[in-house]
């Protein structure tokens, strides 16, 4: 039912939409800095816009993964910034607004598509979505980015089913890969399942000095970044940011 409410810019028969394409065919830096943030639908608020502008100025990420991003009635920072192209993948439509995943990049996206969960969350009856995109790194090699928001408030078998979708993408892709997002790992069992899947796909987890600064539930952090075919150089949690219920997390890789 939710597909009947998709906005005009989305092909009604497609699983994905890319709103703004970048002119660069590959990333222009040999290091890759990723910002991951569940923005809690606050990306319209002037305080959030101020925080985001400061993050862009101070840290200069060249990849961004947002969860719970709300479409805007006016041009956003990413619309105005010529440095970024982006793709937006909705999973919720409400009062003529769309909510979902946004991945932004300082390079063109290739072979992008979405993965809708087979199951839906209770009450609102909407699926979760993962956003898969491919990029060219500075060295010309391919980088796959999977932006994820995992299903919540359901039995564990439905969480496993969405993990299996993501695992299939990771196993079919043999190159460099970043898996990032809000994994809703609020229990040891969910985290064990996630780590088992990522280890099977040859992914390492990004480590943070003070993990407890992340958004957590019952003392279990929810946001993670995994990677393969890259070298982790630096990571940070922007604990001072308070314009979402989640903290932005960042990592810098070398190729």
What DSSP designation does 245 have?
A: S
Q: Assess contact for 255 and 138: CB atoms under 8 A.
A: yes
Alpha carbons 81 and 78: distance in angstroms, whole number:
5
Mean pLDDT, to the nearest integer, of 64-91? 86
Q: Which uninterrupted H or E stretch holds 131?
A: strand 127-136
Burial of 7 (0-12, 13-18, 19+ CB in 10 A): middle
Alpha carbons 68 and 85: distance in angstroms, whole number:
18
Q: Which of 121-125, 172-176, 214-218, 241-245 has the lowest mean pLDDT?
A: 121-125
End-to-end CA gap in the chain: 43
Mean pLDDT, to the nearest integer, of 65-80? 83
Q: Is 60 exceeded by the pLDDT of residue 7? A: no
Q: How far is CA 118 from CA 8, 71, 115, in A?
A: 24, 24, 9
Q: Assess contact for 186 and 210: CB atoms under 8 A.
A: no
**In this structure, what are the phi and psi dihedrals at residue 125, rounded to the nearest 5 degrees?**
55, 40
Report the mean per-residue pLDDT for the chain.
89
Sheet containing strand 97-105, edge to edge, reads: 18-20, 85-94, 97-105, 63-70, 31-38, 249-254, 231-237
Q: Is 50 exceeded by the pLDDT of residue 12? A: no
pLDDT of residue 8: 34
Q: State pLDDT tens for residues 198-252.
A: 999 999 999 999 888 999 988 899 999 999 999 999 999 999 999 999 999 999 9
Enumerate the domain spans of the chain. Answer: 2-6+14-254
Q: Assess contact for 250 and 59: CB atoms under 8 A.
A: yes
What predicted TM-score, i.e. pTM, was given to this entire model?
0.92
Of the candidate CATH numbers 3.60.10.10, 3.30.560.10, 3.40.50.300, 3.40.30.10, the domain formed by 2-6+14-254 belongs to 3.60.10.10
Instruction: State percent of the chain over pLDDT 90.
Output: 70
Radius of gyration of the chain measured on its C-alpha atoms: 17
Q: State pLDDT tens for residues 90-103.
A: 888 777 778 899 99
Q: Assess contact for 169 and 115: CB atoms under 8 A.
A: yes
């Amino acid at each position: 039912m939710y597909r009947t409410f998709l906005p005009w810019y989305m092909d009604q028969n497609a699983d994905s939409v890319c709103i703004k394409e970048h002119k660069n065919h590959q990333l222009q830096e040999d290091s890759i800095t990723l910002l991951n943030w569940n923005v809690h639908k606050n990306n319209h608020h002037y305080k959030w816009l101020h925080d985001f502008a400061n993050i862009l100025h101070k840290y200069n990420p060249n990849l961004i993964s947002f969860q719970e991003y709300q479409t805007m009635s006016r041009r956003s920072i990413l619309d105005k910034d010529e440095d970024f192209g982006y793709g937006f993948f909705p999973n919720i439509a409400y009062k003529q607004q769309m909510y979902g995943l946004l991945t932004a990049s300082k390079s063109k996206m290739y072979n992008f598509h979405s993965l809708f969960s087979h199951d839906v969350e209770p009450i609102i009856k909407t699926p979760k979505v993962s956003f898969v995109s491919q990029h060219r790194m500075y060295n010309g090699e391919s980088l796959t980015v999977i932006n994820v928001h995992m299903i919540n408030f359901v039995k564990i078998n439905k969480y496993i089913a969405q993990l299996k979708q993501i695992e299939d993408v990771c196993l079919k892709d043999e190159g460099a890969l970043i898996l990032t997002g809000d994994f809703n790992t609020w229990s040891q069992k969910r985290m064990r399942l996630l780590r088992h899947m990522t280890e099977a796909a040859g992914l390492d987890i990004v480590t943070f000095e003070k993990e407890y600064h992340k958004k957590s539930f019952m003392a279990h952090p929810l946001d993670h970044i995994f990677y393969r075919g890259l070298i982790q150089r630096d990571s940070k949690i922007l604990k001072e940011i308070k314009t979402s219920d989640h903290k932005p997390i960042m990592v810098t890789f070398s190729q």
